Each structure stands twice: as structure tokens, then as C-alpha cells.
Structure 1
Amino acid sequence: MKIEHIAIWSKDIERLKAFYERYFSARSNDKYMNEKKGFSSYFLSFDSGARLEIMAMPTVPGSKDDPYQQFTGLIHLAMSVGSEAEVDRLTAKLSEDGYEVLDGPRRTGDGYYESVVFDPDRNRIEITV
């Protein structure tokens, strides 16, 4: 058994799609649109076979959670980039490009080497080896 995909609501799926394509080499399908519901989405595929669905619909409200606080439910996506050097390089590139780095790069108490950044919608992305 495997997780087939994870989905994220967004107010701007074009911006989110561009972020994952640029920094994490995602490949997108053609945009799906349901005009009747005002729903649109993309499926983003990664080399590992993992997929991320990014969706928009005007009637979905914004989150009331504070993105700087932890809360119950899904809290981050972990993206493996293959090496500590790549964690460092990508974290620095995201910071240079104006994305907020919340933590790291650092070695965690349980041995992971990681950083945590916000994507354009302030979803937490853990960049790890």
C-alpha cells in the first residue's frame, strides 16, 4: 500500500505550481477545471512517484491557523533532495529568492539533516536528505 497523493487548497494554484516545478522538479498535468463548481486543480508528479494535488475553488475559506504555530492535522511536506549539500544549496536559494526559512539547515536530535521553509501559501516544507 502507498499514499497515492496529498492535496492542498490554494488561492493561487498557478503560483504554487510554479514554485514546486522550479524548486522541486515537479511535473504538472494539464489543468483540470469544473466550471460549474468553480473548481480547478493540477496534479504535480515527482521523480519518486509521489504526487501533490493543488486545488482552488473560490468558496473554500482561507485557513484561520497561524502558520508560525504548530497545530493538529497535516503540518508539513517532507521533500528529500538526496544530500546535505543539496539541503544547504536549496535552502539558501529559497532564502535568496525571498522565501522564509523557519529553521535550519540543522541536524535534528533524531539524526535528520533538514531545513524548514514556507512555500508561497505558507505551507511548511521540510527539506531533508
Structure 2
Amino acid sequence: MKIEHIAIWTHNLEGLKDYYCQFFGGSSNKKYINEKKQFQSYFISFESGARLELMSRADILEQPKNSNDPMQTGYTHFAFGVETMAEVDSKARELAEHGFPILSGPRVTGDGYYEFETLDPDGNRLEVATVYVKR
């Protein structure tokens, strides 16, 4: 079994689509629009087969986020895996240069990863990680 996709509600549909395509190599389908429900969405596909569904409707309420405190029940983050520690470092630099916050790292974790944490344009927490290889 595999996770087929993860869905995110947003009021910034185009911005999130562009972010995940530009910075994480995603490929977007054509926008789906359901006029009756006032619903719009994109599926962003990644080389690994994983997909994100970005969804928007005007009546969706904002959920309060405290990006400085991931210690809450429910969704906390999802991670993009890369092959090397150099790719982790490069992605952290690229996102920082484009104004996205680096919340922690790059660093070695106690469970054997080399990673950093950041936020997407909506404040959703992401990690970029690889298995730690001692240099």
C-alpha cells in the first residue's frame, strides 16, 4: 500500500501550485473547476509517483496555524526526500534566497536523517531530508 495523495485546502491555489512546481519539481494537471460547488483544484504529481491535491473554495475557513509550535495533534508536516546531503543544503539555500523561512537545519537528526524544515506560502510545514551519511 502507498499514500496516493495528500490534500491541502487553500485560498492561494495558484501560488501553492507554482511553489510546488517551481521548487519541488512537481507537474500540474489542468485546473479542475466545479462551478456548482464553487470548487477548484490541481493535482501536482512528482517523479516518485506521490501527488498533492491543492483545493480551493471561497467558503473554506482559515485554520489557525502556529508555525513556531508544531507540537499539536493532527497534521504537522510532510517531507520531500532527496538523494544527498548536498541536495538538502542546496534546496535550503534556494528557498531562503526566495524568502522562504528555514525553521531549523540543515541538521543531523537523532533518527539518522539530514534535513531542514521550512514553510510553504500558506504556512504548511515541510521537511527536505535524506539519510545521513557521515562525512
Structure 1 residue 17 displacement after superposition: 0.6
Counterpart for residue 27 of structure 2: 27
Structure 1 residue 51 displacement after superposition: 0.5
Counterpart for residue 39 of structure 1: 39
Structure 1 residue 67 displacement after superposition: 2.1
Counterpart for residue 124 of structure 1: 125
How high is the sequence identity, in percent, across the aligned residues? 50
Structure 1 residue 81 displacement after superposition: 1.8
| SS of structure 2 residue aligned to 1:85 | helix
TM-score normalised over the length of structure 1: 0.97
Unaligned runs of 5+ in 1: none
Counterpart for residue 52 of structure 2: 52
Whole-angstrom distance in 2 between the partners of 1:119 and 1:6: 15
Counterpart for residue 133 of structure 2: none
Aligned residues: 129
- Within a 5 Å distance, the mapping from 1:1-129 to structure 2 comes to 1-70=1-70, 71-129=72-130
Whole-angstrom distance in 2 between the partners of 1:43 and 1:68: 28
Aligned residue type for 2:78:
L
TM-score normalised over the length of structure 2: 0.93
Whole-angstrom distance in 2 between the partners of 1:103 and 1:67: 12
Whole-angstrom distance in 2 between the partners of 1:20 and 1:124: 13
Structure 1 residue 10 displacement after superposition: 0.7
Unaligned runs of 5+ in 2: 131-135
